[in-house]
Amino acid sequence: MSDPTAATGAPSGPPPGPRPRYKRKLSNYLLDKKLQLRYVLLVTILSGVIAGALGYLIYQQKRAASESIEKDLQALTQADATQEDFQEHVASGLQSEDRALVYKMAGVGIGLVVILSLYLLIMTHKVAGPLYKVSMYFDRMAVGRLGVVTPLRQGDMLQDFYLNFKDMHDAVRARAQADASALEKALESLRDSKNQADYRGEARAQFDEALDELEKHLTERKKQLA
């Protein structure tokens, strides 16, 4: 019995599955490590210094209040020796609260620094991404490649700058396409004139060689515009 798929030309294997979803990594956000890490490190240091200074001032105020309470309690209970245990208990409780405040402020400060650093990493990525893409197109233009410029992702910065670059690139590409079209017409005219003219011997060989070189150049230009 013949295979029904052979008659219809349909593939006999299983249908291709869905393409795997692209997963972003942290390294994908570091397109320009020198630029991005410089600002992330600067903001991290500044935010750490500001958070530490504010935390120190808050701790000083809290500690001054605790010492004032301890002194007032000591003055009230100095005549009664039976209240020494109570005084020590209160002082120990105040010191524990002060230490707990330090731990809380340190935890909040570290959390804020981490969140701010990650946010700044994402924001600098939105700037470094368009710059990286423009530099990539510049590298391609340097070797004569003038393909189509794809738009930026939604949410990227420098949209106006990128649109200006795209307009410039499209203008250069349009001129290159016009040159290629003119070159193709010139090549066709030369081939027609070669067929009509009476070229023989070395002159014909040189003419054919020149036409071949021109055709290769035209083919290369079309590839660069693809």
56 and 124 within one domain: yes
pLDDT of residue 53: 87
Domain boundary among 85, 114, 142: 142
Question: Does the pLDDT at position 128 exceed 70?
Answer: yes
Q: What pTM value is reported for the model?
A: 0.53
Residues of the chain with pLDDT > 90: what percent?
A: 2
Reported as a single tens digit per residue, the pLDDT across 5-52 is 444 444 444 444 555 454 555 566 777 677 778 878 888 888 888 888
Reported as a single tens digit per residue, the pLDDT across 155-197 is 888 888 999 999 998 888 888 888 778 777 777 777 766 665 5
Q: Identify the residue whose tokens are 């004139």.
A: 193
Count of C-beta atoms within a 10 Å radius of residue 101:
16
The number of folded domains in the chain is 2
- Parent domain of 197: 144-226
Mean pLDDT of 65-94: 72
Contact 90, 73 (CB under 8 A): yes
pLDDT of residue 54: 86
pLDDT of residue 164: 92
Domain boundary among 142, 162, 181: 142
Region of residue 76 (phi > 0: left; psi between -120 and 50: alpha; otherwise: beta)? alpha
* Residue 15 within a domain: no
217 and 177 within one domain: yes
199 and 188 within one domain: yes
pLDDT of residue 80: 63
121 and 34 within one domain: yes
DSSP state of 180: H
84 and 39 within one domain: yes
149 and 138 within one domain: no
* Residue 7 within a domain: no
88 and 161 within one domain: no
pLDDT of residue 10: 43
Q: Which amino acid is at 47?
A: S
